Amino acid sequence: MRRFFTSTARRRCSTKNIAWWDHVLPAPKDPIFCVTEAFHADSSPNKINLGVGAYRDDEGRPVVLQCVREAEARIAGSRFLESNSAAVSSKMVEESVKLVFGQDSDVVNEGRFAGVQALSGTGACRLFAEFQRRFHPESRIYLPDPTWSNHHNIWRDAQVPAKNYHYYHPDSKGLNFSALIDDIKNAPDGSFFLLHPCAHNPTGVDPTEDQWKEISYQCKVKNHFPFFDMAYQGFASGDLEKDAQAIRIFLEDGHLIGCAQSFAKNMGLYEHRVGCLSILCNDSKQGAAVRSQLQQIASAMYGSPPVHGVLLVSTILSNPDMKSLWIEEVKMMLYRIQKMRTTLQESLENLDSPLNWENITKQVGLFFFSGLTPNQVEQLAREFHIYMTRDGRISMSGVTTGNVNYLANAIHEVTRSSKEETKILCNIGA
């Protein structure tokens, strides 16, 4: 091959080569993943990673659920690795949507929905955003303030403009319900609203049942399209059914919702990228049409989702024994998180902290929205080797009986001179 060009030819060629990418600026780091990066770069034995919302056990280790191990053993090497057989796909989708819509849901039994597997929650949201752009090109998405930082990236890259609606009240550290309702009322009719059905990320603040009913009603009056991002089913109360309550309320009120589901956290399948996107339709024919369009969007993005994760989910959800085991394991994960919440709150109270820490146990899900300022967050990293996102969101799964006292002391140190009004930095990465 070398005989095909001389060194002079090479010189000629390379001087003519312009550098295509010199103008490319270094991208800002992802606000969530960079926490883990910083953590890894730290050599302190006391370091704690409170960044990413991935479950860890009390030794701080990632966990493979027993039901997943069993499913892995069952499927290993026993099937050919071609793209999803239709049977496995539709089984997985059906079992997934039953989790959110109900085991006996009419919608599911009558096939009045479009459902496709997706690349976890991110992929499901992105598919929907692209679909929204294609079929409602003038629409925008209303996102709660604050929300998961990647929501803004997703809809932006799908070229759907975003607007915030009030959600978190920094003063009360609870839900800014009246402002939320006002925003729903003031939005143009037929707007698209993204809702966290439980365990809101990053605040851990969820509407009550009554508040959900009111939100549903107001959305109905305005003919809004409700889109649910269900990333933490099971992690709010430990009960999968209970955590789907908001969605059931909307269904009963006759909304034709969209829903993104992730199995990353509640099945511990983070690295397999398994999720589901569903859109309720008037009838099964329309469901088929919508599904065909979603598949087109997916096929121009990545083809089809990886079969391994789909098989795992399908195996677990279709086998009653494995499904029961899974339900128990979700409860156990949540139990540990709740225990850490209680312990952390007690530890801080025992240190005579000037601040009120009841939100640690009031908030739900994986995260504690601490109210720490960016300066305090930075101080925790610098002086105590404790890492969390800049908005003060603490992933409780990084807390263990081994480090909770150290953590409490550190938080106490950086806040002992604080007053009650600590500002919250909302909506990072927007």
Partner 1 sequence: MRPELTLPTGQASSPTDRRLNALLRHLSSSSSSAMDTNNSISPSPTSAFQHDSVFSHVVQAPEDPILGVTVAYNKDPSPVKLNLGVGAYRTEEGKPLVLNVVRKAEQQLVNDRARVKEYLPIIGLAEFNKLSAKLIFGADSPAIQENRITTVQCLSGTGSLRVGAEFLAKHYHQRTIYIPLPTWGNHPKVFTLAGLSVKTYRYYDPATRGLNFQGLLEDLGSAPAGAIVLLHACAHNPTGVDPTLQQWEQIRQLMRSKKLLPFFDSAYQGFASGSLDADAQSVRMFVADGGECLAAQSYAKNMGLYGERVGALSIVCKTADVAGKVESQLKLVIRPMYSNPPIHGASIVAAILRDRNLYSEWTIELKAMADRIISMRHQLYDALRARGTPGDWSHIIKQIGMFTFTGLNSKQVTFMTKEYHIYMTSDGRISMAGLSSKTVPHLADAIHAAVTRVV
Scanning residues 1 to 30, which ones bind partner 1 (CB under 8 A)? Answer: 1, 4-5, 10, 13-14, 16-27, 29-30
The torsion angles phi and psi of 271, rounded to 5 degrees, stand at -80, -5
Smallest separation, CB 25 to partner 1 (Å):
7
Toward partner 1, which CB reaches closer, 302 or 335? 302
The region of 170-178, 300-308, 328-336, 381-389 touching partner 1 under the rule CB under 8 A is 300-308
305 binds partner 1 (CB under 8 A): yes
Toward partner 1, which CB reaches closer, 17 or 375? 17
345 binds partner 1 (CB under 8 A): no
Q: Which of 41, 87, 138, 300 binds partner 1 (CB under 8 A)?
A: 300
Range 301-325 burial, b when 16+ CB lie within 10 A, else e: eeeebbbbbbbbbbbbbebeebbeb
182 binds partner 1 (CB under 8 A): no
Evaluate whether 263 touches 308 at the Cβ level (below 8 Å): no
Beta bridge partners of 192: 141, 225
Residues 115-144 that bind partner 1 (CB under 8 A): 119-120, 122-123, 126, 130, 135-136
* Alpha-carbon torsion angle 295, 232, 148, 219, nearest 10: 80
Catalytic residue among 155, 206, 243, 265: 265
Toward partner 1, which CB reaches closer, 225 or 387? 225
268 binds partner 1 (CB under 8 A): yes
Smallest separation, CB 421 to partner 1 (Å):
31
Nearest to 187 by CA among 149, 139, 135: 139
How many alpha carbons fall within 13 Å on the CB side of residue 94? Answer: 14
The region of 298-306, 333-341, 344-352, 415-423 touching partner 1 under the rule CB under 8 A is 298-306
Nearest to 304 by CA among 146, 135, 121, 119: 119
Toward partner 1, which CB reaches closer, 123 or 204? 123
Evaluate whether 140 touches 192 at the Cβ level (below 8 Å): yes
Toward partner 1, which CB reaches closer, 251 or 410? 251
Question: Which residues, other chains included, contact 254 with Cβ-Cβ below 8 Å and sequence gap of 6+?
Answer: 220
Catalytic residue among 206, 229, 243, 391: 229
Place of tokens 């029961």: 324
Distance separating alpha carbons of residues 54 and 163, to the nearest angstrom: 28
Smallest separation, CB 39 to partner 1 (Å):
13
Toward partner 1, which CB reaches closer, 211 or 353? 211
Toward partner 1, which CB reaches closer, 153 or 418? 153
332 binds partner 1 (CB under 8 A): no
Toward partner 1, which CB reaches closer, 282 or 417? 282
Sign of CA dihedral 259, 263, 264, 270: negative
Evaluate whether 94 touches 107 at the Cβ level (below 8 Å): no
Q: Which of 35, 48, 50, 54 binds partner 1 (CB under 8 A)?
A: 54
The region of 293-301, 329-337, 346-354, 412-420 touching partner 1 under the rule CB under 8 A is 293-301
For residue 202, cis peptide bond before it (omega within 30 degrees of 0): yes
Residues 80-99 that bind partner 1 (CB under 8 A): 80-84
213 binds partner 1 (CB under 8 A): yes
CA 329, 332, 333 angle in degrees (round to 5)? 90
Residues 219-258 that bind partner 1 (CB under 8 A): 220-223, 225, 249, 252-254, 256
Distance separating alpha carbons of residues 194 and 225, to the nearest angstrom: 9
Active site residue 20: no
Longest dimension (CA), the chain: 79
Residues 354-393 that bind partner 1 (CB under 8 A): none
Distance separating alpha carbons of residues 244 and 344, to the nearest angstrom: 28
The region of 151-159, 236-244, 327-335, 338-346 touching partner 1 under the rule CB under 8 A is 151-159
Which runs of consecutive H residues, i.e. helices, occur in 158-260?
177-186, 209-221, 240-243, 245-252
Residues touching partner 1, count (CB under 8 A):
98
Active site residue 148: yes
Smallest separation, CB 225 to partner 1 (Å):
5
Q: Hey, which residues are catalytic here?
A: 148, 229, 265
